[in-house]
């Protein structure tokens, strides 16, 4: 009895073709973890260590079932998944499902780079085993992307969405401010170019141009000095030339030049060229290419490879095209050795070891079902392929140098001797201009000799092709996903695309986010993180690094970065303030959601209880399940600092209940209490109870600020239930009055906006946002331990001490807007220059002074008037030219 083999492919087209070929001779797992899926179920920081579970989603269960059923019937499993790292990972998912159903399965991996008969048979002959290391590398990437993406996306969305009026979206409250290791660097490229443009200061320059008409053609000579920024200098030289305008040919050089055909076509090149030649967006290009691939007309369109393997039968591919009415004759000539047109394709230097370059796989003279885009793309693929196997174009170039009054000028003319590949590759041209015949020593009077001005121009906004080039160089995304990342910028309102120019401009939102992280000093918007991950993945895939080590190291770094970002969130607020109004609506809990986990909620038993600081500066421990769960533990008012420790209370249940290190304000607590206390909110802590009894909880519900449920029916906490609360003034934190009639206010109002100390003697500064005092604190995070910062007791305002001091130094005139300006100003010149030497004709030279020789040797002005006024340009004296002007002191 023969062996029954179960063949599994990644695409049904592969399954169809492989089975068809072999017969002639005889969905995926997704990651999730239920408990952490709801945004409010945990602190986003928890996402760095939450377990990752893989499961088969509901709508793919039928695939799993089919795999299991077939696996049970077979002895062999052959994996025909795509031959790249991602394919290897999917292969292992298939193996997992199938071997669970049939432990006896003999698992094989088929490796192939195209679905052609010969190759399929070869791969059957050379079956190997799946490569665990390739799959591991993908697991690493998946997990890092998921943790970083989810944590930062939740963080910045919950932090900013409700705090600002995001008027670009119909419902700003549903906007998602996503972060991803690919989409953010892509945004970074767009913003960086935009800043470069903003900071550009146009500078006027001057150049001398010379033309000569002869033999019915024109030569345009360029000044060897290029251009000068010094007007006086340029004028002096120009006047010297006018004084002695005879040109002498000093050198004539002739040489043969080649224009080489492009490398074989990779996905990125396909996208870039379709954008350039047809203005087809990358997304549309991939959609059409996918359809052409699925109907068999072109090879797999997602490939990094830009060189053909020596085994590829290139001639057969050309033969298929011989019958085409337009390029068929070119294909015939290619195959005719007598023509000498054939050349083996160049090697672009990239090979993904999975797919060949994109090439035609089936002839078509155009299908009736095709849209114009299908026609265009198929034509591009075919012509590109034919160009790749063609000789380069050959040209004869003539360069002529001339001398006018000691100044050198040069021109180049080109005659194309053989078009070769350019005959079929109609998308490219080779500018050739015919110039008059010159010989060395030949003299002539220029037809025109002009002094022209121009202004330096900033670079253009990034086009889709530019953006893809940036991403490609930095290794952002894959050939298959690059266009998705670009699209994501548009979907998230981070950037807009001009439909005419296909160029990208960042929106205020996009700019603010990049600015915020940039101000923190993080390069999260730069491509380095992805580049590092990519190199680590590569190391895992070849076995030089261990999967677990790479994961641990990367996540540890990103977690520290995330914690820092939380601490520095004021930077994001400041950047958003530059562009957006603050929302008037009461900010949801989301802004204050984050906190350190104290325990699992003992009431709902679903979410965590976290230590949080409320907008009024007081501390509380609340359930993240709010508003479904209103469990809350109130804490004494006089707390100045509180942080959750890793110490677990030995008494309270259900555990673990992590203890909190408190620091109390000396003046607000009875003398016999210590200012330091390691306490528990699980109900066992008598000191906390006594302090609440004596000093109150500091809750501000009496002022109508805190709206969270606080009745006796809202908490199961012993502390909260047993203690009546007292009113505490938010200014001085004493009981017995409110901030409205606080005795400290009269004396403080005048000094409210200067640096000083608060009522407790702590150094404080006035908050720039709400006016409340910001007290000086010391950071306790891993990366900033010991660093001082001011934190507002009334709002989210936060500023590092050194930054505050720098900004408030006597010479500083810093402001948020000035900061944005100076960033855009790049070199600190503050945006657009006052010297608005604007280029009034859209980038072409604006002639300042020009003279034209059309009347047999005498120069006339551009308007045709004879030039009689030959005064010195500097002093206006008609007796000399500027080059000998006495005012120059020469």
Under rule CB under 7 A, residue 510 binds DNA = no
CA–CA gap between residue 731 and residue 737 (Å, rounded) = 10
Shortest distance (Å) from residue 295 CB to DNA? 12
Cβ pair 240, 881 in contact under 8 A:
yes
Which is nearer to DNA, 138 or 633 (by Cβ)? Answer: 138
Shortest distance (Å) from residue 714 CB to DNA? 22
Shortest distance (Å) from residue 39 CB to DNA? 3
Cβ neighbours around 730 below 10 Å, total:
22
Shortest distance (Å) from residue 509 CB to DNA? 14
Under rule CB under 7 A, residue 532 binds DNA = no
x/- letters, 279..318, toward DNA (CB under 7 A): -----------x---x-------x----------------
Which of the residues 438 through 497 are near DNA (CB under 7 A)?
477-481, 484-485, 488
Task: Assess whether the previous peptide bond of 654 is cis (omega < 30° from 0).
Answer: yes
Under rule CB under 7 A, residue 11 binds DNA = yes
Helix (H) or strand (E) holding 327: none
Under rule CB under 7 A, residue 40 binds DNA = yes
Under rule CB under 7 A, residue 53 binds DNA = no
Which is nearer to DNA, 158 or 820 (by Cβ)? Answer: 158
Which of the residues 614 through 673 are near DNA (CB under 7 A)?
none
Under rule CB under 7 A, residue 608 binds DNA = no
Cβ contacts of 421-426, under 8 Å, gap ≥ 24: 421/261, 421/386, 421/387, 421/390, 421/391, 421/392, 421/393, 422/259, 422/393, 423/330, 424/327, 424/330, 424/383, 424/386, 424/387, 424/390, 425/261, 425/262, 425/383, 425/384, 425/386, 425/387, 425/390, 426/383
Part in contact with DNA (CB under 7 A); list of ranges 141-149, 405-413, 507-515, 604-612: 141-149
Cβ pair 536, 499 in contact under 8 A:
no
Q: How many helices (H) and strands (E) does the chain have?
A: 25, 29
Which is nearer to DNA, 281 or 696 (by Cβ)? Answer: 281
Under rule CB under 7 A, residue 37 binds DNA = yes
E-strand spans in 163-261? 204-214, 217-223, 247-259
Shortest distance (Å) from residue 507 CB to DNA? 16
Q: Pick the binder of DNA from 10, 43, 139, 519 (CB under 7 A).
A: 10
Shortest distance (Å) from residue 176 CB to DNA? 5
238, 300, 378, 421: the catalytic one is 300
x/- letters, 354..393, toward DNA (CB under 7 A): ----------------------------------------
CA–CA gap between residue 520 and residue 374 (Å, rounded) = 47
DSSP track, 606-669 = SSEEEEEE-TTS-EEEEETTTTT---EEE--TTEEEEEEEEEEPSS-SSS--EEEEEEE-GGGS
Cβ neighbours around 585 below 10 Å, total:
10
List the structure tokens of 767: 């908050």
Cβ pair 735, 695 in contact under 8 A:
yes
- What is the gyration radius of the CA atoms in the chain, in angstroms? 36
How many residues bind to DNA according to rule CB under 7 A?
49
Q: Pick the binder of DNA from 3, 12, 129, 171 (CB under 7 A).
A: 12
Shortest distance (Å) from residue 435 CB to DNA? 50
Under rule CB under 7 A, residue 142 binds DNA = yes
**What torsion, rounded to 10 degrees, do the Cα atoms 622, 626, 631, 636 define?**
30
Under rule CB under 7 A, residue 38 binds DNA = yes
Shortest distance (Å) from residue 36 CB to DNA? 7
Which is nearer to DNA, 161 or 599 (by Cβ)? Answer: 161
x/- letters, 181..220, toward DNA (CB under 7 A): xxxx------------------------------------
Determine how β-strand 76-80 pairs with β-strand 106-109: parallel
Q: Pick the binder of DNA from 19, 28, 133, 405 (CB under 7 A).
A: 28
Which is nearer to DNA, 295 or 647 (by Cβ)? Answer: 295
Cβ pair 144, 31 in contact under 8 A:
no
Part in contact with DNA (CB under 7 A); list of ranges 4-12, 455-463, 673-681, 741-749: 4-12
Give the torsion sign (CA, 315, 317, 321, 323).
Answer: positive
By C-alpha distance, which of 656, 677, 511, 490 is closest to 579? 511
Which is nearer to DNA, 354 or 455 (by Cβ)? Answer: 354
Which is nearer to DNA, 230 or 491 (by Cβ)? Answer: 491
CA–CA gap between residue 196 and residue 204 (Å, rounded) = 18
Under rule CB under 7 A, residue 710 binds DNA = no
Which is nearer to DNA, 87 or 638 (by Cβ)? Answer: 87
Part in contact with DNA (CB under 7 A); list of ranges 26-34, 230-238, 651-659, 770-778: 26-34
CA–CA gap between residue 379 and residue 111 (Å, rounded) = 30
x/- letters, 144..183, toward DNA (CB under 7 A): -xx-xxx--xx--xx--x--------------x-xxxxxx
Part in contact with DNA (CB under 7 A); list of ranges 25-33, 217-225, 540-548, 855-863: 25-33
Which is nearer to DNA, 384 or 483 (by Cβ)? Answer: 483
Torsion region of 311: left, alpha or beta (phi above 0 gives left; psi -120 to 50 gives alpha): alpha
Shortest distance (Å) from residue 587 CB to DNA? 13
Shortest distance (Å) from residue 369 CB to DNA? 17
Contacts of 583 (CB under 8 A, 6+ apart): 162, 163, 164, 165
Give the CA distances from residue 879 to residues 512, 666, 875, in Å, rounded to whole numbers and listed in that order: 61, 90, 10
Which is nearer to DNA, 163 or 451 (by Cβ)? Answer: 163
Which is nearer to DNA, 12 or 49 (by Cβ)? Answer: 12
By C-alpha distance, which of 266, 265, 423, 269 is closest to 331? 423
Shortest distance (Å) from residue 671 CB to DNA? 46
Shortest distance (Å) from residue 187 CB to DNA? 10
Part in contact with DNA (CB under 7 A); list of ranges 34-42, 573-581, 595-603, 674-682: 34-42
Torsion region of 350: left, alpha or beta (phi above 0 gives left; psi -120 to 50 gives alpha): beta
Under rule CB under 7 A, residue 55 binds DNA = no
CA–CA gap between residue 602 and residue 59 (Å, rounded) = 35
For residue 546, which phi and psi values (nearest 5 degrees)? -90, 140
Task: Assess whether the previous peptide bond of 627 is cis (omega < 30° from 0).
Answer: yes
Which is nearer to DNA, 622 or 637 (by Cβ)? Answer: 622
Which of the residues 64 through 103 are near DNA (CB under 7 A)?
82, 84, 86-87, 90
Which is nearer to DNA, 12 or 129 (by Cβ)? Answer: 12
Provide the 8-state DSSP code for 880: S
- Active-site annotation holds for 493: no
Shortest distance (Å) from residue 327 CB to DNA? 29
Contacts of 326 (CB under 8 A, 6+ apart): none
The residues binding DNA (CB under 7 A) are 10-13, 27-28, 30-31, 36-40, 82, 84, 86-87, 90, 141-142, 145-146, 148-150, 153-154, 157-158, 161, 176, 178-184, 290, 294, 302, 477-481, 484-485, 488
Residues assigned a catalytic role: 300
């Amino acid at each position: 009895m023969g062996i029954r083999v179960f063949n599994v492919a990644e695409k049904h087209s592969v399954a169809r073709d492989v089975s068809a070929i072999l017969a002639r001779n005889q969905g995926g797992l997704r990651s999730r973890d239920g408990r952490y899926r709801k945004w409010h179920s945990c602190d986003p920081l928890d996402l760095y260590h939450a377990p990752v579970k893989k499961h088969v989603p509901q709508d793919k269960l039928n695939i799993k079932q089919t795999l299991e059923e077939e696996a049970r019937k077979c002895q062999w499993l052959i994996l025909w998944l795509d031959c790249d790292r991602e394919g290897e990972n999917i292969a292992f998912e298939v193996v997992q499902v199938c071997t669970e159903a049939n432990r006896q399965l003999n698992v094989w991996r088929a490796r192939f780079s195209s679905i052609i008969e010969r190759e399929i048979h070869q791969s059957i002959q050379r079956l190997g085993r799946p490569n665990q290391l390739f799959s591991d590398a993908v697991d690493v990437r998946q997990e890092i992307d998921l943790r970083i993406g989810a944590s930062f996306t939740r963080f910045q969305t919950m932090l900013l969405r409700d705090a600002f009026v995001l008027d670009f979206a119909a419902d700003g409250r549903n906007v998602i401010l996503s972060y991803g290791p690919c989409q953010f660097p892509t945004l970074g490229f767009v913003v960086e170019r935009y800043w470069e443009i903003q900071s550009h200061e146009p500078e006027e320059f001057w150049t001398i141009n010379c033309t000569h008409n002869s033999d019915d053609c024109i030569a345009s000579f360029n000044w060897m000095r290029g251009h000068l920024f010094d007007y006086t200098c340029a004028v002096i030289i120009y006047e010297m030339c006018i004084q002695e305008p005879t040109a002498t040919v000093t050198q004539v050089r002739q040489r043969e030049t080649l224009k080489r055909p492009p490398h074989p076509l990779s996905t990125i090149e396909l996208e870039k060229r379709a954008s350039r030649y047809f203005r087809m967006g990358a997304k549309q290009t991939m959609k059409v290419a996918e359809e052409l691939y699925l109907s068999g007309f072109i090879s797999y369109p997602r490939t990094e490879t830009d060189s053909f393997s020596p085994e590829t039968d290139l001639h057969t591919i050309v033969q298929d095209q011989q019958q085409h009415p337009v390029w068929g004759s070119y294909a015939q000539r290619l195959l005719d050795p007598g023509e000498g047109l054939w050349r083996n394709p160049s090697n672009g230097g990239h090979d993904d070891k999975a797919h060949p370059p994109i090439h035609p796989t089936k002839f078509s003279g155009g299908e009736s079902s095709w849209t114009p885009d299908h026609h265009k793309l198929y034509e591009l693929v075919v012509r590109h392929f034919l160009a790749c196997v063609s000789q380069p174009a050959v040209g004869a170039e003539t360069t002529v140098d001339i001398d006018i009054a000691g100044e050198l000028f040069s021109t180049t003319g080109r005659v194309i001797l053989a078009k070769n590949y350019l005959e079929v590759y109609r998308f490219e041209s080779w500018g050739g201009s015919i110039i008059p015949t010159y010989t060395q020593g030949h003299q002539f009077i220029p037809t025109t000799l002009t002094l022209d001005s121009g202004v330096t121009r900033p670079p253009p906004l990034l086009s889709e092709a530019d953006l893809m080039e940036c991403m490609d160089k930095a290794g952002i995304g894959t050939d298959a996903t690059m266009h998705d990342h670009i699209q994501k910028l548009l979907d998230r309102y981070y950037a807009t695309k001009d439909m005419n120019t296909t160029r990208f401009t960042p929106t205020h939102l996009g700019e603010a986010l990049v600015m915020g992280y940039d101000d923190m000093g993080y390069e999260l918007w730069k491509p380095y993180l992805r580049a590092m991950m990519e190199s680590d993945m590569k190391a895992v895939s070849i076995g030089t690094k261990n999967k677990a080590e790479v994961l641990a190291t990367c996540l540890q770094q990103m977690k520290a970065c995330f914690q820092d970002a939380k601490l520095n969130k004021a930077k994001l607020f400041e950047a958003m303030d530059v562009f957006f109004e603050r929302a008037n609506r009461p900010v949801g809990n989301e802004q204050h959601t984050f906190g350190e986990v104290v325990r699992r909620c003992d009431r709902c038993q679903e979410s965590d209880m976290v230590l949080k600081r409320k907008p009024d500066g007081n501390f509380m421990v609340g359930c993240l399940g709010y508003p479904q769960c209103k469990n809350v533990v109130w804490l004494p008012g006089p707390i100045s600092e509180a942080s959750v420790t890793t110490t677990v209370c030995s008494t309270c249940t259900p555990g673990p209940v992590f203890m909190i290190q408190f620091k109390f304000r000396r003046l607000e607590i009875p003398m016999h209490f210590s200012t330091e206390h390691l306490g528990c909110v699980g109900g066992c802590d008598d000191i906390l109870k006594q302090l609440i009894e004596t000093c109150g909880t500091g809750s501000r519900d009496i002022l109508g600020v805190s709206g969270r449920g606080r009745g006796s029916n809202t908490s199961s906490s012993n502390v909260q239930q047993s203690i009546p609360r007292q009113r505490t003034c938010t200014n001085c934190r004493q009981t017995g009055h409110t901030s409205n009639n606080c005795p400290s206010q009269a004396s403080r109002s005048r000094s409210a906006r200067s640096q000083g100390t608060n009522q407790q003697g702590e150094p404080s500064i006035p908050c720039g946002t709400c006016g409340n005092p910001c007290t000086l604190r010391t950071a306790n995070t891993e990366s900033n331990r010991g660093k001082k910062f001011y934190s507002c007791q009334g709002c989210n305002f936060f500023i590092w001490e050194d930054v505050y001091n720098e900004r408030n130094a006597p010479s500083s005139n810093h402001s948020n807007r000035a900061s944005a300006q100076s960033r855009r100003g790049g070199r600190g010149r503050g945006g657009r220059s006052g010297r608005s030497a604007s280029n009034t004709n859209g980038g072409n030279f604006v002639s300042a002074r020009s003279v034209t020789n059309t009347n047999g040797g005498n120069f006339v002005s551009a308007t045709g008037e004879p030039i009689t006024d030959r005064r010195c340009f500097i002093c206006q004296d008609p007796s000399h030219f500027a080059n000998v002007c006495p005012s120059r002191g020469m």
